[in-house]
Structure 1
Amino acid sequence: MSWTILLIVSLFCGLISAQDDGNTTDFENHLETQGCSADMCDLLREFGAVRDKLRVVETRMEDSETRLKDTETRLKDTETRLTESETQILELKKEKKTVVFSAATGGGDTAIGPFNTDTTLIYRKVITNIGAAYSPNTGVFVAPVAGVYYFTIFYHAGGKYEALLRLYKNNDVVVLTYDHRCTSDSADNGGNAVFLQLVQGDQVYVRLGVNTHVWGSDYPTTFSGFLVTEM
């Protein structure tokens, strides 16, 4: 029994050697020429078939390993690009423009108006002007970037004349604040606020209505705004 096993192993090794040389068919022909028992030849042919299948499996495994390495490389490249994108986003957030302003009419404790025509109200007392988008010379805010902005207007006035302020976006009235004339009312206060979507270069300003007035000083009559978010 041991001799038979040894013979099979020896023949199998010979088969492997022959297959390693790429001459499986020649080896089978050699077996037929030299002669062997039918069972032994069948067994050796089965071993040869198994060997061929193993080689196919090994080739497929090598291909799979190659594809896996390629996938790992692409994954690393993706991770690198993701890290770069995150860095760019952080840099953009740091570079986000800040726009904030607040100004009062100034000019001392005296009335502004009434005038015989609508008049752009100039808020000369600048309290805050981060981004320098508001001009105390013209009273006009010019949007430096596209985005959503928030604006407020407040006023103080006497009751002798009407009080009317309109907030404009370019040439269009957006909101207003108003109080009628009243002889029994010695003082009036009012205000309004609005969110506006602006593009770069849009102008926002306040106009005093014809034959109306507000009180001019450093405190009660103000115009303010800030950039909520860029778009």
Structure 2
Amino acid sequence: LSFTIYLAQVQKRTMERTFLLLAAFIFSSGQCQDTDPSRDPDASLAVCKPDICRLIRDSGVYSAQILELQRLIQEQAQQLQEQAQQLQALQESTSAAVPRVAFTATMSHSLGPAMGQTTVKYGVILSNMGNGYNPATGFFTAPVAGMYYFRYTMFNNLGPTPNSMMSLMRNGMAMVTSLDGEGDDNNDSASNAAVLQLEAGDNVYIELYGSRELFDNAMRFNTFSGFLLFPL
């Protein structure tokens, strides 16, 4: 739209130049009319004829230049339109090729003490773009190979025991771990994060260790989040 406006302005300026050239031609022709009756009109006309011829010749050159300029502008407008269409197609294909993967899930109630290592199932989904996270299993399954970012938080307000200990797992292996050691204080929290290279189908999840517990309620202290940084 902006280029169309620009083209209209160029055409307007071209018409204005043409009008000025025509006005100059008429004015010059008028100047050739000698009002002195004592002078020879044929001599005055002889002087003016070369000027008129030059103006006519120059006007033809200017007209040709204007037409050439208009042709070049139209060609450039067509090229810009084609490039814009190609850019839009490239952007659409790129957006379609890169999946959008991101999620955050939380707990709404306490968990534990666990009898053994237990997968934490975060049942409250705040976002799940790409549906990679499954609240029924607690697993995030990578839809494509790539570099992913994960982060989790844990919360415990039960004092000395049982305390909390949990790990970020990838296909059964602990990647990073958080521990709330025994003490006399309450309301302890911790978090950890990792950037992991995953293959399509890899599972990432959180495990709570045996005899450990997490406290939660409607405030949603415990969270599990992740998103795709870029595909590989």
The bucket for the TM-score relative to the shorter chain is 0.5 to 0.7
- What CA deviation, in whole Å up to 9, does each residue of 1:62-106 have, x standing for no partner? xxxxxxxxxxxxxxxxxxxx9999676433322121001000012
Q: CA deviation at 1:122?
A: 0.4
Indicate the SS of the match to 2:162: coil
Q: CA deviation at 1:126?
A: 0.5
Query: d(CA) in 2 for partners of 1:196 and 1:86?
Result: 33
Q: Give 1:192's aligned residue.
A: 192
- Structure 1 runs of 4+ off > 3 angstroms? 82-89
Which residue of 88, 96, 99 maps to 1:97?
99
Indicate the SS of the match to 2:137: coil
Q: Does 1:114 align with 2:116?
A: no
Q: Does 1:181 align with 2:182?
A: yes
Query: d(CA) in 1 for partners of 2:87 and 2:169?
Result: 39
- Return the index of the structure with the highest Cα Rg: 1
Does structure 2 retain, via aligned residues, the 8 Å contact 1:168–1:206? yes
Q: Give 2:231's aligned residue.
A: 230
Q: Give 2:12's aligned residue.
A: none
Indicate the SS of the match to 2:215: strand
Are the structure 2 counterparts of residues 116 and 181 from structure 1 closer, same or farther at C-alpha, using a change threshold of 3 Å? same
Q: Give 1:217's aligned residue.
A: 217
Q: CA deviation at 1:216?
A: 2.4
Q: Which runs of 5+ in 1 are unaligned?
A: 1-81
After superposition, where does 1:33-72 map in structure 2 within 5 Å?
none
Query: d(CA) in 2 for partners of 1:214 and 1:92?
Result: 44
TM-score, normalising length from structure 1?
A: 0.59
Indicate the SS of the match to 1:148: strand
Are the structure 2 counterparts of residues 84 and 200 from structure 1 closer, same or farther at C-alpha, using a change threshold of 3 Å? farther
Q: CA RMSD in A?
A: 2.0
Q: Give 2:139's aligned residue.
A: 140
Query: d(CA) in 2 for partners of 1:87 and 1:129?
Result: 28
After superposition, where does 1:152-171 map in structure 2 within 5 Å?
152-158=151-157, 159=159, 160-171=161-172
Query: d(CA) in 1 for partners of 2:120 and 2:180?
Result: 17
TM-score, normalising length from structure 2?
A: 0.59
Indicate the SS of the match to 1:112: coil
Q: Which runs of 5+ in 2 are unaligned?
A: 1-82
Q: Give 1:61's aligned residue.
A: none
Does structure 2 retain, via aligned residues, the 8 Å contact 1:104–1:217? no
Aligned length: 146
- What CA deviation, in whole Å up to 9, does each residue of 1:112-132 have, x standing for no partner? 111221100000010100110
Q: Give 1:201's aligned residue.
A: 201
Query: d(CA) in 2 for partners of 1:93 and 1:210?
Result: 46
Q: Structure 1: which amino acid aligns with 2:227?
A: F
Query: d(CA) in 1 for partners of 2:93 and 2:226?
Result: 23
Query: d(CA) in 2 for partners of 1:85 and 1:142?
Result: 35
Query: d(CA) in 2 for partners of 1:148 and 1:220?
Result: 27
Q: Structure 1: which amino acid aligns with 2:112?
A: G
Query: d(CA) in 1 for partners of 2:146 and 2:86?
Result: 23
